[in-house]
């Protein structure tokens, strides 16, 4: 121990300052251990945005928009506290979003209680921060990509994972006021309510990567 360290008996009180928590602070955090493949109830803890991200797909050449990265945590069961991050397209002002990317975005926010109407990419009055604290069902699968992160996970004896493509479902079907955050007020625990199918307007095409 450094000789200049202050011992507990040598101080009468420690000054925490303002003690304001940083954005994304989570008193229930347990590190960044991913859950194994499976389907879990998760809560969005925080998110980040990467601007001017290029997207490519089979039904469009290239679209430059933003990338939305939700940080999600398993809320119950054996793997409660484990976390995962996804990488999703998000609408940007003044740019027409390709169909497949728009459907992926809708699949995500609809699962967390904010299903868009047929003629818009977000519900009326929706704010991105509304997603924080919302709960939905998230499918996690093995990540077979041969990349640095995945190879490090394999070298450590772990299975690299990712959120499945179109891997979101609501915990329960939203009521008539679909824009209201049904999942945030849900008290559903494992096995309480059967998950519903994604809205038929979401075009789940696994080949449109």
Write the DSSP assignment of 66-80 as a string of letters: EEEEEEEEE-SSTTT
Backbone angles phi, psi at 67, to 5 degrees: -115, 125
Candidates 116, 125, 72; CA nearest to 97 is 116
Residues 102 and 109: their CA atoms lie apart, in Å, by: 11
85: Cβ–Cβ under 8 A, 6 or more apart, which residues? 69, 70, 71, 72
Q: What is the pLDDT of residue 9?
A: 76
Residues 19 and 76: their CA atoms lie apart, in Å, by: 29
Residues 142 and 77: their CA atoms lie apart, in Å, by: 20
Q: What is the pLDDT of residue 65?
A: 94
Q: Where are the domains of the chain?
A: 26-185
CB atoms within 10 A of CB 65: 20
- Per-residue CA distances from 119 to 90, 115, 123 (Å): 16, 12, 10
Q: What is the pLDDT of residue 195?
A: 38
Mean pLDDT, contiguous 10-residue spans, the chain (209 residues) = 65 76 72 88 95 92 95 95 96 93 97 96 95 97 88 85 96 52 40 37 37
Q: What is the pLDDT of residue 135?
A: 97
Q: What is the pLDDT of residue 29?
A: 64
124: Cβ–Cβ under 8 A, 6 or more apart, which residues? 117, 179
Two structure tokens written together for 133 = 């604290």
Residue 52 · residue 66 · CB < 8 Å? yes
Q: What is the pLDDT of residue 123?
A: 95
Q: What is the pLDDT of residue 130?
A: 95
Q: What is the pLDDT of residue 173?
A: 52
Q: What is the pLDDT of residue 206?
A: 33
């Amino acid at each position: 121990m450094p000789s200049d360290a202050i011992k507990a008996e040598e101080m009468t009180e420690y000054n925490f300052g303002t003690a304001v928590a940083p954005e994304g602070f989570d008193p229930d955090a347990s590190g960044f251990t991913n859950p194994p493949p499976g389907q879990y109830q998760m809560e969005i803890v925080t998110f980040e945005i990467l601007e001017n991200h290029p997207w490519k797909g089979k039904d469009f050449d290239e679209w430059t928009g933003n990338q939305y990265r939700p940080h999600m945590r398993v809320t119950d069961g054996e793997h409660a506290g484990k976390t995962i991050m996804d990488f999703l397209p998000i609408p940007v002002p003044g740019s027409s979003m390709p169909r497949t990317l728009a459907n992926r975005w809708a699949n995500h926010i609809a699962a967390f209680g904010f299903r868009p109407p047929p003629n818009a990419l977000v519900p009326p009055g929706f704010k991105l921060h509304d997603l924080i604290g919302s709960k939905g069902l998230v499918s996690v699968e093995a990540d077979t990509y041969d990349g640095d992160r995945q190879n490090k996970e394999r070298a450590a004896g772990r299975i690299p994972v990712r959120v499945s493509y179109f891997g979101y479902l609501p915990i329960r079907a939203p009521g008539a006021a679909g824009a209201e955050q049904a999942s945030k007020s849900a008290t559903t625990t494992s096995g309480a309510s059967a998950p519903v199918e994604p809205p038929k307007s979401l075009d789940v095409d696994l080949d449109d990567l």
